[in-house]
Amino acid sequence: MPPSADSTTDRVPSSADGTIPRTRRRLRACQECDLLVALPPLRPHECAKCPRCEHTLSYRHYRPAERSLALAITALMALAASVSFPFIRFEARGISNSIQLTDTASSMINFQEPFVGILVLLTIVVLPIFFLCAVIWLQIGLLRRAPLPRSRQIARALSHLAPWMMADVFVIGALVSLIKIAGMASVELGFSFWSFCAFALLLLWTTRSLDTDWMWFSLESEPLAPEGCETGRPAAEQGVTGCPTCGLVNRLSHFGRGRCQRCREPLRFRAPHSVQRTWALLAAAVIFYIPANVYPIMNTASLGDESASTIVGGVLIFLSHGDWPIALIIFTASVVVPIGKMISLSWLCIVVKRREATDRRDKRLKLYRITELIGRWSMIDVFVVAILVALVHAGSLLSITPGPGALAFAAVVIITMLAANSFDARLIWDTRDMQPKMPVALKRHSPYSPVKESEDV
């Protein structure tokens, strides 16, 4: 077992005025409010939270390497079973069809929707496989007390993969698909369906079992934080910033940029042009959202009669059949969530420009957290289309094909997720009088300068 990440925690004497504690070990700059804090020693099942915004800085697991390794191996076995056996069997009017999990992606590619097909394959198979193999690779090295080659680069990649794995969303999409076609055909769930449900649950547990703080300490140890750091103050005011990947506090160069000395992640005081990039992505999402609702998301052919279904049209169909819970799910995921994300991010981009000292910061941060969390669930409609297109193709008797709205809506989901990721939540806590600790020559070009007040960091 590698040494504990808390074994090096200690304290140095307090500052000269006796009011601000100083320490150079186990410092963390909160990634959501930029407050500089010192992590306390943590026992298993204990967590450390930011005292200002309640963001979880670290959660300590019992035997984290063994826990993550066991879950990752089990999840990988469940995924192997999911792609090896029939997923769903469909029978209508004497014609039957059986599909496997990967057919949901290949069918979209066959119907001239390669972007949607590749997106489905990446989010439910490819990225989870890479994630689980990376976890296994890292934890085996930690258990041997000798990290395997490329462990640092692999650990860096893990921090960026979690939001893009959507096995749990795919399960909900599969259930909605089954209810949608239950009235027109008989459906039989294969062994692959149940194993994929188990895989989605195991993947979620594996993601939450990763003790990032402990893992990085075990991989690369932890050097002392820069001299002169004072806890209880924003990190940018002291010329330091926390690494978003491994958490280490680093002092930036005179140009306000640098690389983490532990994981080599590029660092800035704030994400460059965060507000401008968020606005640009939101504008693109609005543009794509119009055809996503105007054009049909899928087309259904039954005995020679063809009907097109838009997102709102699909909700109305479920309501007419009395399936209001499913209609509510689709309406929330496909209408409320995308529009709510765009409105929320737009409002946040407006209010952070004011940089006013206000007691509403915590509420704005909660809004951002919700916006970032729920965005991926809009993929339900895309997965429903992929499953139905793969399952229902019985020629002129009954078949479902994707419509142009599917591509536009998939683009909306991805772009809004990118917009949420590009927004720097620390801007919510910045005020007009906040000045990063940097040379005068650099401050003239700093977004905190009154002359450049219209620009963000």
Each residue of 249-279: pLDDT tens digit? 999 876 778 889 888 889 988 888 899 999 9
Q: Look at residue 7 in the predicted model and tell me its pLDDT.
A: 46
Tokens of 210: 């990763």
Q: What is residue 118's three-state secondary structure?
A: helix
Name the amino acid, one letter, at 214: W
pTM score: 0.85
Q: What is the pLDDT of residue 190?
A: 87
What's the pLDDT at 142?
Answer: 92
- Name the pLDDT band for 2 (thresholds 50, 70, 90): low
- Average pLDDT value for residue range 236-243: 89
Nearest to 44 by CA among 2, 6, 1: 6
59-108 per-position pLDDT tens digit: 888 889 999 999 999 999 999 999 999 898 877 666 777 888 998 999 88
User: Do the Cβ atoms of 120 and 419 come closer than 8 Å?
Assistant: no
Q: Helix, strand, or coil here: 268? A: strand
DSSP 26: S
- Classify each residue of 189-226 as buried b or exposed e, where b means 16 or more C-beta atoms within 10 Å of its C-beta: ebebbebbbbbbebbbbbbebbbbbbbbbbbbebeebe
**Interatomic CA distance for residues 43 and 54, integer angstroms:** 19
| Chain mean pLDDT for the chain | 83
The C-alpha torsion from 437 through 441 and 445 to 449, rounded to 10°, is 50
Residue-wise pLDDT tens digits, 384-425: 889 888 887 755 566 788 888 999 999 999 999 999 999 999
Cα separations (Å) of 114 from 105, 381, 406, 415? 8, 17, 11, 17
- CA dist 188 → 25, 88, 89, 395 (Å): 58, 6, 5, 20
For the stretch 283-309, pLDDT in tens is 999 999 999 999 988 887 766 667 778
Residue 439: its pLDDT value, please? 42
CB-count exposure of residue 254 (10 Å: 0-12, 13-18, 19+): exposed
The band of 36, judged by pLDDT with boundaries at 50, 70 and 90, is very high
| Mean pLDDT of the region 334-362 | 84
Query: Phi then psi for 257, rounded to 5 degrees?
Result: -145, 170
> Which residues, in sequence order, are CB contacts of 206 under 8 Å at separation 6+?
68, 71, 72, 75, 131, 132, 135
- The count of other CB atoms within 10 Å of the CB of residue 320 is 9
Which pLDDT band, with edges at 50, 70 and 90, does 226 fall under? Answer: confident
- What's residue 237's pLDDT? 87
pLDDT at 45 exceeding the cut of 60: yes
Signed CA dihedral, 164, 166, 168, 172: sign only: positive
What 8-state DSSP symbol labels residue 295? S
Q: Which of 5-19, 123-137, 184-198, 244-258 has the lowest mean pLDDT?
A: 5-19
Instruction: Reduce the DSSP state of residue 251 to 3 states and report it.
Output: strand
pLDDT given at position 375: 84
What string of DSSP letters covers 320-364? HTT-HHHHHHHHIIIIIHHHHHHHHHHHHHHHTTT----TTHHHH
Rounded to 5 degrees, φ, ψ at 229 are: -75, 135
The SS3 of residue 390 is helix
The token duo for 437 is 């600790």
Give the distance, in angstroms, between the CA of residue 146 and the centroid of all CA atoms in the same chain: 30
How far is it, in rounded angstroms, from Cα 421 to Cα 423? 6
